[in-house]
Amino acid sequence: MQRQIEYVRPWLYPKQLEAIFHDKRYGCIEASTKAGKTVGCITWLFEQAAINGCEGRNYWWVAPIFPQAKIAFRRLKRYLPHSLYTANESELTITLANGAVIWFKGADKPDSLYGEDVYAAVLDEASRMKDEAWHAVRSTLTATNGPVRLIGNVKGRKNFFYNLSRKAESGEPNMAYHVITAYDAVAGGVVTLDEIEDAKRLLPEQVFNELYLCKPSDDGGNPFGLRAIRECVGQLSNLPPACWGIDLAKSHDWTVCIALDAYGQVCRVERFQMPWQETITKIIDLVGDVPALVDSTGVGDPILEALQKQKRNFEGFKFSSTSKQQLMEGLAVAIQQRKIGYPDGIIVMELEQFEFEYTRTGVRYSAPPGQHDDTVCSLALAVSLFSVPRPEIRIRRL
């Protein structure tokens, strides 16, 4: 027996509606934080699956990392009556009564985004995804000619979403471009003007411009400054180490050891993954008697103890959100004053990816979700040791 279901679209404010619900195949929406990006696009994807879907048709929700996709998965489940769907909690799928399947995926492993035919997709927080994720999702829409909505904050000019938005803005066929600023969201009634004014007072101007007004900053919201990062690039020094910074591997990242010479130039970069006992031996071999600052957070604590049992030149540093922020601010000063130098490669890549992160307690510097920051951490540890003024003792014979 067939069931007829009456659906009433939840209320969306006019700008939200206009930006997401149109008949162009590609929709790029640069939008303020808290403008209703996620809610609007969940509604759009649900309608695509509910109205055009049938048994076996796939619809994709893609977020930068899996835990973010899970938040959207939970939100959609909350909106739908139980009798309308079945959910698979481990695969993060919602199968609607008409047989269409909505998948929630993380973009951190772009290779996992190839494969199926997809009938419509959303890339939420697209400015925080790698180009490869977009290429992969685009390929899944080929056979179906499926529509896609890409939505996100403005985040500099060095990402595919920025470039695609410029194409859409220039009036390419079958593409639509919309912008929703925080003031549009205030007019729509989903945020208060007080909240926006408060953010304006608290945040650095370039950060506010990107996050709330959708205006890109030339530094791409990078706390170190892209130009300053580039201006510190030089040759790997061949002088001996004066100090080391050591960031120990946690669950799935690397142990990184970086040394600065007596002039603040990086002279050694070592990056490895090995069992703890071998890590300890390797660090002792590398560092010798040179001062070293070691990440002693969590599992780092016993490693530091083991190092200190053998040598007296190892000091510990415990990462907390406050201490990490202070460490990164020290690194930012060193970079902006060109007090340090490093070779091109992994250090530059990780520094360039850094961004401001907004929390209830303020602004922090951090790597984007799913990206490594261990090279930046070990550089910051080395810089912190390098910057400590040491007593100069001269002995004069009378």
Ligand X SMILES: Nc1ncnc2c1ncn2[C@@H]1O[C@H](COP(=O)(O)OP(=O)(O)OP(=O)(O)O)[C@@H](O)[C@H]1O
Which parts of this chain interact with ligand X (CB under 6 A)? 11-13, 16, 31, 33-39, 190
Q: Which of 75, 62, 188, 79 is nearest to 121 (CA)?
A: 62
Task: Select from ligand X, Mg ion, none the partner in contact with residue 319, using the beta carbon and a kind-dependent cut-off of 5 to 8 Å.
Answer: none
Instruction: State the amino acid at position 255 in one-letter form.
Output: T
Q: How far is the CB of 147 from ligand X (least distance, A)?
A: 19
Nearest residue by C-beta to Mg ion?
38
Could you count the other beta carbons within 10 Å of the beta carbon of residue 62? Answer: 29
Give the residue with the Cβ less far from ligand X, 13 or 21: 13
Question: Which is closer to Mg ion, CB of 126 or CB of 259?
Answer: 126
Min dist CB 202 to ligand X, Å, is 16
Cβ nearer to Mg ion, comparing 107 with 377:
107
List residues binding Mg ion (CB under 5 A).
37-38
State the minimum distance, in angstroms, from the CB of residue 365 to Mg ion: 21
Q: Supply the minimum distance, in Å, between the C-beta of residue 95 and ligand X.
A: 23
Distance CA 218, CA 214 (A): 13
- DSSP classification of residue 53: -
Residue 39: contacted member of Mg ion, ligand X, none (CB under 5 to 8 Å, by partner type) = ligand X
**DSSP states of 205-251 as a string?**
HHHHHHHHH----TTTT-TT-HHHHHHTB-PPP-SPPSEEEEE---S
Residue among 12 and 383 whose Cβ is closer to Mg ion: 12
In the complex, the smallest distance separating the C-beta of residue 198 from ligand X, rounded to whole angstroms, is: 16
Q: Which residue of the chain is nearest ligand X when measured via CB?
A: 36
Question: In terms of CB distance, is 79 or 263 closer to Mg ion?
Answer: 79
Picking from 251, 344, 231, 244, the residue whose alpha carbon sits closest to that of residue 298 is 251
Q: How far is the CB of 144 from ligand X (least distance, A)?
A: 26
Four-CA torsion 162, 163, 169, 171, nearest 10 degrees: -160
Q: Which does 34 bind (CB under 5 to 8 A by kind): ligand X, Mg ion, none?
A: ligand X
Supply φ then ψ for residue 287, to 5 degrees. -85, -35
- Whose CA is closest to 343, among 320, 375, 312? 375
